[in-house]
Amino acid sequence: MKLTSEQINQLYLFTRQHYVEYYDLQTELVDHLANAIETEWQQNPKLTFDEVLNKEFKKFGVFGFMDVVENRQAALGKKYNSLVWEHFKEYFGIPKIVLTLAMTFILFIILKASSYQEWTIIGLYLSLFGFTIYEMIKSQRLRNKKKKSEQKRWLFEEIINQYGAFSGAILLPFNVLLQIFNHIDTEVTNDYFLLAISFVLVLLSVTLFIIFKIIPPKTQIYLEQTYPEYKYEKL
């Protein structure tokens, strides 16, 4: 005996009522419950849907889905993080590494020739920081809008948002380099630090570009392939 579409929807509602907030986690639990219910019906076909569901839910123990959700969230989180790092590794292939080094050298030449090195560096840094804040605010507004409209929440999207927050955090220690820069005495040392700062700025720029512009569209593609509901939700 197979579950109907209405019963599947009831399972999704049941998981939400028991504090499973992310749709990808809900889907994994629904698949588990659906298989368990269908197996139970093979042995006890006279039981109702609610009776079998309650019976299966009791097997999760006093804390309900809590332990399972934590384990599955950790497993899915690991899987999603692996996908994110695959995108990073793809982007940092040999051609991109050469391009990054070339951009570093160009920025170094510009800073070397500039009469306002410190202001140029600060300006570039503030531009990166402003871009990060803008993207994080935009992402937060989208999450709030989705929450108000009761759209599905996805763990993968939440992990991408965490990368965005982390990128904002890694920009903050940059002032340490600027403090060191202020205490440079020799021209040779100055060149080394200019080169280091150029590399850091370029690397941060590329990292932020990947986090905010490259990975999110690929995240959508993955979710659409894995969960067709994601595509229809975006229409």
The distance of Cα 153 from the centroid of its chain, to the nearest Å, equals 12
188 pLDDT more than 50? no
| Percentage of the chain exceeding pLDDT 90 | 5
**Token pair for residue 182?**
């202020």
Per residue in 10-39, pLDDT (tens digit) is 999 898 888 888 888 888 888 888 988 899
- Quote the domain boundaries for residue 15: 5-64
Output the CA–CA distances (angstroms, integers) from residue 128 to 61, 103, 174, in the order listed. Answer: 49, 16, 11
The distance of Cα 229 from the centroid of its chain, to the nearest Å, equals 19
Crossing angle of helices 49-58/23-43, nearest 10°? 110
Q: Is residue 213 part of a domain?
A: yes
User: Helices marked H in 149-186 — which ranges?
Assistant: 155-171, 174-182
Tell me what pLDDT residue 181 has: 55
DSSP 19: T
| Percentage of the chain exceeding pLDDT 70 | 83
Rounded-to-integer distance, Cα 194 and Cα 135, Å: 28
**Judgement on whether residues 116 and 177 belong to the same structural domain of the protein:** yes
**Judgement on whether residues 113 and 170 belong to the same structural domain of the protein:** yes
Tell me what pLDDT residue 126 has: 83
Pick the range with the lowest mean pLDDT from 46-60, 87-101, 176-190: 176-190
**Judgement on whether residues 184 and 229 belong to the same structural domain of the protein:** yes
Q: Do 154 and 229 meet the contact criterion of CB atoms below 8 Å apart?
A: no
With a CB cutoff of 8 Å and minimum separation 6, the contacts of 226 are 24
pLDDT band for position 229 (50/70/90)? low
pLDDT band for position 186 (50/70/90)? very low
**Token pair for residue 149?**
């409209």
The single residue listed with the structure tokens 């989705």 is 146
Rounded-to-integer distance, Cα 109 and Cα 198, Å: 9
Q: Is residue 73 part of a domain?
A: no
Q: State which amino acid sits at residue 14.
A: F
Per residue in 116-134, pLDDT (tens digit) is 877 888 888 888 888 888 8
Strand, helix or coil for residue 149? coil
**Judgement on whether residues 149 and 175 belong to the same structural domain of the protein:** yes
The single residue listed with the structure tokens 């934590």 is 70
Where a domain ends, among 23, 42, 64? Answer: 64
Tell me what pLDDT residue 168 has: 63
111 pLDDT more than 80? yes
Q: Is residue 122 part of a domain?
A: yes
Q: Is residue 72 part of a domain?
A: no
Query: How many domains is the chain built from?
Result: 2
**Judgement on whether residues 55 and 146 belong to the same structural domain of the protein:** no
pLDDT averaged over every residue in the chain: 79
The partner residues of 153 in beta bridges, in order of sequence, read 22
